[in-house]
Structures are given as C-alpha cells and as structure tokens.
Amino acid sequence: MELVGLIIFGGVIGALARLVMPGDQNLGILWTIILGVLGALVGYWLSGVLGVEDTPGIDWIRWIISTVAAVLFISIYIGVRGRQRV
C-alpha cells in the first residue's frame, strides 16, 4: 500500500511542479509521476535532515520541498532530453 501512496503522491507533486514551472513542458504523465516520486523522496529526506518531518497538521514544508525538488528534476530531464534530440 505504501508503493501506491508514493505513486499517487508523486503524481500530485509532479503535477504541482509542472503548474509552477513557466512555459510548456513536453512531458508525458509517466515521466511526470516518475519525476514527482523522485521529488517526493528527496522532499521526505530533506525534511528529515532539516528536522521538520513531524509537524502537526498538513506538512506544508515537506510539500514545498518536494515540489521544488520535482521542479529541479523536471528541468534537468527536459534539459538533458532536449540536448539528446539535437
């Protein structure tokens, strides 16, 4: 069940990351989910390092960190993929 939750959370984080990114990203749903999951994992790890993994209520800091990490992963993916096609 944790894997399903991670995939759903990654999809939401990936979608949020694409919403805050400027411009149009030519990226499929599968890559959005994969890069969102990576962002979520980095967000969980960084929030643990920063000591904010256990907060009452909604973990806004973790969501923000995860979204920023997903934006970075999507940017890197688009940059690398764009160079490969040229």
pTM greater than 0.85: yes
Quote the number of domains for the chain: 1
Domain that includes residue 58, residue range: 2-85
| Structure confidence at residue 57 (pLDDT) | 77
Tokens 């790890």, located at residue? 45
Confidence check: pLDDT of 70 > 90: yes
Tokens 């000591």, located at residue: 51
Burial class of residue 2, CB neighbours in 10 A (0-12, 13-18, 19+)? exposed
Provide the pLDDT for residue 86: 47
What torsion do the CA atoms of 1, 42, 60, 23 make, to the nearest 10 degrees? Answer: -110
- Tens of pLDDT along 7-65? 999 999 999 999 999 888 888 899 999 999 999 999 989 988 988 867 777 788 889 99
